[in-house]
Copies of this chain bind each other. A is one copy, B any other.
């Protein structure tokens, strides 16, 4: 496994690889590091589907708000490199902030519509930062396939829309969320939870199970009724505060009133819950019975 910190060196390395292996695809997993088994599952999937796997680790300041946790975001490069090597990564791209932003960027990539709801409403500017850095990383790595976890479903929706709108020559591969034994979605931010919060955090996945039960029991329902069925469960976490719970058409992330009016084939129930030092997100995508 190679670790490369400079853009120009990475470009040269990948150009040489493409010259030698004309028929082989390059797979790419962009991350902010502090890797867990969820990331490892993306890397293993990339290894199955492509000939060369590039992992990037970059905590992107552009996607953090002024009062968010950029400085405190957990980092452990040594452990990350061990996990990457075990998962079969070929190249780790580990740029500094100065390497990625030698000067303040004048250019922004914005995706409207999709970004105005869910985390976009709670975190203004966040998805512009995501779309801009992912554009940069795609242009640097030029992968054939990029692998993203469905835990950040809105991020996948934004990236997919951007790739489609801008004709980016990359295939986005959504990958299932990995969970702890009790159902908690794996997240780098889970380390922020106290022991008591950790045990209560199970309400996120339980509330999505409640959504599943609600949907299977009801033929016709409103978005509001579904959201309320979810909120009932989350409120059991006395240490957690609901940031949002929303039911939206997927992948457009358009709101709906009655399920009967949704023209897409799937809906997503997505939620964010704030604990003292961690804001956790989770979601589930459901097919619509017609």
Interface residues of A (CB under 8 A from B): 7, 11, 19, 22, 105-114, 131-132, 135-136, 139-140, 142, 161-162, 165-169
Chain B positions within 8 Å of A135 at CB level = 166
- How far does the alpha carbon of A49 sit from the alpha carbon of B149 in the complex, in Å? 42
Chain B positions within 8 Å of A107 at CB level = 109-112, 131, 161-162, 165-166
Q: How many whole Å from A123's CB to the nearest CB in chain B?
A: 18
Choice from B113, B114, B136, B167 contacting A166 with Cβ under 8 Å: B136
Are the C-beta atoms of A136 and B22 separated by less than 8 Å? Answer: no
15 of the cross-chain contacts (CB-CB < 8 Å) are A7-B167, A19-B22, A106-B161, A107-B109, A107-B110, A107-B162, A107-B165, A109-B109, A110-B110, A135-B166, A136-B166, A139-B166, A139-B167, A139-B169, A142-B169
Q: How many whole Å from A84's CB to the nearest CB in chain B?
A: 22
Chain B residue nearest in CB terms to A100: B167
Chain B positions within 8 Å of A140 at CB level = 167, 169
Q: What 4 A-B pairs have minimum CB-CB distances, sorted nearest first? A: A107-B165, A139-B167, A105-B165, A136-B167
Are the C-beta atoms of A139 and B114 separated by less than 8 Å? Answer: no
Are the C-beta atoms of A132 and B11 separated by less than 8 Å? Answer: no
Give the interface centre of A106, A110, A161 by most chain B CB atoms within 10 Å.
A106
Given contacts A19-B22, A22-B19, contact A165 B112 (CB under 8 A): no
Q: How many whole Å from A231's CB to the nearest CB in chain B?
A: 29
Q: How many whole Å from A79's CB to the nearest CB in chain B?
A: 28
Chain B positions within 8 Å of A105 at CB level = 165
Q: How many whole Å from A140's CB to the nearest CB in chain B?
A: 5
Choice from B108, B113, B114, B131 contacting A112 with Cβ under 8 Å: B108
Q: Can you name 4 extra interface pairs (CB under 8 A) apart from A106-B114, A110-B110?
A: A11-B169, A19-B22, A22-B22, A107-B165
Chain B residue nearest in CB terms to A22: B19
Q: How many whole Å from A221's CB to the nearest CB in chain B?
A: 28
Chain B positions within 8 Å of A136 at CB level = 165-167
Q: How many whole Å from A253's CB to the nearest CB in chain B?
A: 11
Chain B residue nearest in CB terms to A114: B106
Chain B residue nearest in CB terms to A128: B110
Chain B residue nearest in CB terms to A112: B106
Chain B positions within 8 Å of A114 at CB level = 106
Give the interface centre of A11, A109, A112 by most chain B CB atoms within 10 Å.
A109
Chain B positions within 8 Å of A169 at CB level = 11, 139-140, 142
Chain B residue nearest in CB terms to A104: B165
- How far does the alpha carbon of A107 sit from the alpha carbon of B134 in the complex, in Å? 13
- How far does the alpha carbon of A140 sit from the alpha carbon of B162 in the complex, in Å? 14
- How far does the alpha carbon of A15 sit from the alpha carbon of B141 in the complex, in Å? 17
